[in-house]
């Protein structure tokens, strides 16, 4: 049977301890050549809305130990908008009655069978937050107690949730442009995690005096200035576009999520200029930086003293992340009877593909 899960099911199925453990083990599998990733690809078509484009995204990856491969797809209308003087890329909910389309399909690597279909929303936020938390675990000072967080959206929630779970973080300073929203965000996350939060009035204030800083935004411009970085800090960024890449010259040690380095973009033939919403990473030799899986597995050394400024760029998502978090959701849902089962035969055929 193929299991169909909702975001509510996924939220109930995922727990912090299991997500961290399964993702960490999946990265060890990757470092040992027992996991696989395909680079993320975006395909684009013009859209009638101003400054907008239709974008279809796909990425896949599998983890041998757990016997699964995940395919993640999104079908989006993306629009460039200026918010508080910053150009942001927003997804417009035009499906159904104001909804988005994003799916994770989980396959058995033993039989090829489709095991589960679930929305990608919480899986997407969780996989980034978990990876950042594991990066902090192996790169930050062991006595780190204060986290500075820039952002108050879904990604920021996941980072608050998971980064406070892996080390002795006692306080999180939070900045986002909307004062009321950041206040509500802090109250919600304090209640959920039990870790004290403090809304602050500027990104610089969020960074000042912290042991770990994390930017978790959808900004198209850098949100952390290099002069704010202090000796001993660990800096985590989830997107190249929100990052001043001068940090690559300032920090040591450095790790990145994947040496793929960028997303593969496909526009209709004959369209030379980038369509609205297309974000291309600048060409760079990412192979000179170790992947976080190698630090987690102990193949590459991390911080060697408490004065170093370490940096982890969670630069591009990978299929292994979706396989790991999809497996967590699927396993817990099966064990507790969540979701709805439908015949797997609906997704099979007697014609050889």
Contact 238, 321 (CB under 8 A): no
pLDDT of 157-187, one tens digit each?
999 999 999 999 999 999 999 999 999 999 9
Residue 72: how many other CB atoms lie within 10 Å:
27
Contact 38, 3 (CB under 8 A): no
- Check residue 82 and give its pLDDT: 82
Between CA 312 and CA 238 the distance in angstroms is 9
Between CA 276 and CA 114 the distance in angstroms is 35
Task: Kindly state the percentage of the chain with pLDDT values over 90.
Answer: 91
Between CA 162 and CA 113 the distance in angstroms is 32
242 DSSP 8-state letter: G
Instruction: Please check the confidence at residue 288 and state whether its pLDDT lies above 80.
Output: yes
- To 5 degrees, how large is the angle CA 157–CA 182–CA 85? 105
- Check residue 220 and give its pLDDT: 76
**Both tokens assigned to 249:** 């010259």
CATH of region 141-264+281-313, choose from 3.40.50.261, 3.40.50.720, 3.30.420.40, 3.40.50.300 = 3.40.50.720
Between CA 132 and CA 85 the distance in angstroms is 28
- Check residue 315 and give its pLDDT: 87
Instruction: Please check the confidence at residue 219 and state whether its pLDDT lies above 90.
Output: no
Long-range contacts of 138-141 (CB under 8 A, 24+ apart): 138/292, 138/295, 138/296, 138/302, 139/234, 139/253, 139/255, 139/295, 139/302, 139/303, 139/310, 139/312, 140/167, 140/211, 140/212, 140/234, 140/303, 140/310, 141/211, 141/232, 141/234, 141/303, 141/306
CA 195 to chain centre: 22
Per-domain boundaries in the chain: 2-123+319-347, 141-264+281-313
Task: Kindly state the percentage of the chain with pLDDT values over 70.
Answer: 100
> Is the pTM higher than 0.75?
yes
Peptide bond into 253 cis (omega under 30): yes
In the predicted model, what is the mean pLDDT of residues 89-106? Answer: 96
CATH homologous superfamily of 2-123+319-347 equals ornithine cyclodeaminase, domain 1 (3.30.1780.10)
pLDDT of 114-125, one tens digit each?
999 999 999 999
Between CA 192 and CA 204 the distance in angstroms is 26
Instruction: Please check the confidence at residue 70 and state whether its pLDDT lies above 80.
Output: yes
In the predicted model, what is the mean pLDDT of residues 56-84? Answer: 95
Q: Where does the pLDDT of residue 239 fall: very low under 50, low under 70, confident under 90, or very high at 90 and above? A: confident
Instruction: Please check the confidence at residue 192 and state whether its pLDDT lies above 90.
Output: yes
């Amino acid at each position: 049977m193929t299991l169909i899960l909702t975001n509510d099911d996924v939220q109930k199925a995922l727990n912090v301890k299991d997500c961290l453990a399964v993702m960490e083990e999946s990265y060890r599998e990757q470092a040992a050549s027992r996991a696989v990733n395909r680079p993320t690809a975006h395909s684009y078509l013009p859209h009638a809305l101003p400054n907008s484009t239709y974008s279809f995204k796909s990425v896949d990856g599998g983890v041998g130990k757990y016997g699964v491969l995940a395919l993640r797809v999104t079908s989006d209308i993306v629009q460039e908008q200026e918010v508080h003087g910053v150009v942001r890329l927003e997804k417009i909910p035009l499906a159904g009655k104001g909804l988005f389309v994003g799916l994770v399909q989980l396959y058995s690597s033993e039989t090829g069978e489709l095991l589960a279909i679930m929305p990608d929303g919480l899986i997407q936020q969780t996989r980034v937050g978990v990876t950042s938390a594991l990066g902090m675990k192996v790169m930050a000072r062991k006595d780190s107690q204060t986290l500075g967080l820039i952002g108050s959206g879904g990604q920021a929630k996941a980072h608050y949730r998971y980064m406070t779970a892996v080390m002795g973080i006692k306080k999180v300073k939070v900045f986002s442009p909307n004062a009321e929203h950041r206040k509500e965000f802090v109250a919600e996350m304090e209640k959920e995690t039990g870790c004290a939060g403090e809304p602050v009035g500027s990104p610089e204030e969020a960074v000042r005096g912290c042991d770990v800083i994390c930017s978790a935004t959808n900004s198209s411009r850098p949100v952390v200035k290099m002069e704010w970085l202090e000796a001993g800090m660990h800096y985590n960024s989830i997107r190249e576009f929100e990052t001043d890449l001068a940090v690559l010259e300032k920090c040591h040690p450095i790790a990145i999520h994947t040496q793929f380095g960028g997303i593969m973009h496909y526009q209709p033939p004959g369209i030379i200029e980038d369509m609205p919403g297309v974000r291309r990473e600048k060409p760079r030799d990412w192979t000179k930086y170790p992947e976080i899986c190698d630090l987690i597995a102990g193949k590459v050394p991390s911080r060697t003293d408490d004065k170093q400024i370490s940096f982890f760029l969670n630069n591009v998502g990978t299929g292994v992340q979706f396989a790991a978090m999809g497996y967590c959701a699927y396993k817990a849902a099966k064990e507790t009877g969540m979701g709805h089962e439908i015949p797997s035969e609906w997704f099979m055929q007697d014609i050889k593909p």
